[in-house]
A = this chain, B = another copy of it.
Amino acid sequence: MTGGRRFLAKVYVSLKPTVNDPEGNTIAGALGALGFNVEGVRSGRFFQVTLDAADGPGAEKQVAEMCSRLLANPVIETYTFEVAEVQTNRLS
């Protein structure tokens, strides 16, 4: 069931606010040592997923399922994403 259109999804995964973030704390400390006025840093992950789908809502549904099944850990992480169609140069 290959869809006819191509989409690029940008997925942002971050730790829930109550979860401890040692990587972010380390980066905040390093930025402070470099002289920046940093109050805090939260670290996360960023994925650019290229996928095929029949239409925009279909692509969004697929991406939401990817997030909940593989890309994010729902116990400690939250995710947001945005999906945009990619123009391909295929002859139609």
Interface residue ranges, A against B (CB under 8 Å): 1-3, 6, 12-14, 24, 27-28, 30-31, 34, 36-53, 62, 65-66, 69-71
Contact = CB atoms under 8 A, between A and B. Distances in A.
A23 to B, nearest CB: 9
Per assembly, the copies of the chain total 2
A15 to B, nearest CB: 10
Given A31-B49, A45-B45, 11 more contacts: A1-B37, A27-B47, A27-B71, A31-B70, A38-B51, A38-B66, A39-B50, A39-B51, A41-B49, A42-B48, A43-B46
A39 B71 CA distance: 16
A66 B42 CA distance: 14
